[in-house]
Chains A and B, each alone.
Chain A
């Protein structure tokens, strides 16, 4: 799990834990078979959104890719955009984890 802007990698790891994704996350790149890299961005609610929409929730965008470190091939990529994210980065991290889980499950079925 490579470092990402705003510490998004820790939210993805927490998402993997919560969604019980069958992977072992390691902190040393040397011990890994795959590497997850990505970017994330948060957009805070402005006064107009609060006034007209009554919402103070953030908009979250994130994009990740998983690379096989042996072959160098990108084996999975996913991007998420959550407008009015209920739980901020946590929601985006869990969305990423959910889709990684689906990718892994599809491989076996």
Chain B
């Protein structure tokens, strides 16, 4: 009986240790709700559009103004291609083409935990549309808890 209890104890400890060793690999990719996130400046002020979109889409993160206070950092790039005269005359299209890409990195581990790029030809609301697409997918990532 004592042997059985001993073996059971060893097995339980091994299971707990295995659980502990495998957890960080998956946990490191998770962005927990209410995480403190710093949004670094991006070309064409896309960071401001992203902040507004995060607010509008109710993304469950806390945006902080100082990088030192943050757990995660969002960096990215954005590009707007305004409708040229040719596009307006030939295609009857006044809307801009938008593309943007963001990545979220864990400031402690240095790992990129999420990345997303968007391309919106003839964007209905310019940068606002691409920023909201980024915010929407970031929200999905946080809510998926993966």
Contact = CB atoms under 8 A, between A and B. Distances in A.
10 contacts: A10-B76, A10-B77, A10-B101, A10-B102, A10-B117, A25-B111, A27-B110, A51-B86, A88-B97, A88-B99
Name the residue in A17, A28, A31, A57 with the highest tally of chain B Cβ atoms < 10 Å from its Cβ.
A17
B90 A13 contact: no
B119 interface: yes
Interface in B93-130: 93, 97, 99, 101-103, 105, 109-112, 114-119, 121
Interface residues of B, number: 31
Interface of A: 1, 6-8, 10-11, 13-18, 24-28, 31, 42, 44, 46-47, 50-51, 56-58, 87-91, 93
Nearest to A32: B110
Contacts of B118: 90
A27 B84 contact: no
Given A50-B87, A90-B117, 12 more contacts: A7-B43, A7-B76, A7-B78, A11-B101, A14-B117, A15-B117, A24-B111, A25-B111, A25-B115, A26-B109, A56-B87, A87-B99
Contacts of A46: 86
B41 interface: no
A95 to B, nearest CB: 12
Interface of B: 43, 75-79, 81, 84-87, 90-91, 93, 97, 99, 101-103, 105, 109-112, 114-119, 121
Contact of B121 (A31, A56, A93): A56
A13 B84 CA distance: 30
A23 to B, nearest CB: 10
A16 B105 contact: no
A67 B121 CA distance: 35
- Which DSSP category, helix, strand, loop or mixed, fits chain A's interface? helix
B86 A89 contact: no
A28 B115 contact: no
A103 B37 CA distance: 34
A17 B103 CA distance: 10
B141 to A, nearest CB: 9
Nearest to B77: A7
A19 to B, nearest CB: 11
A7 to B, nearest CB: 2
Contact of B79 (A6, A15, A26, A47): A6
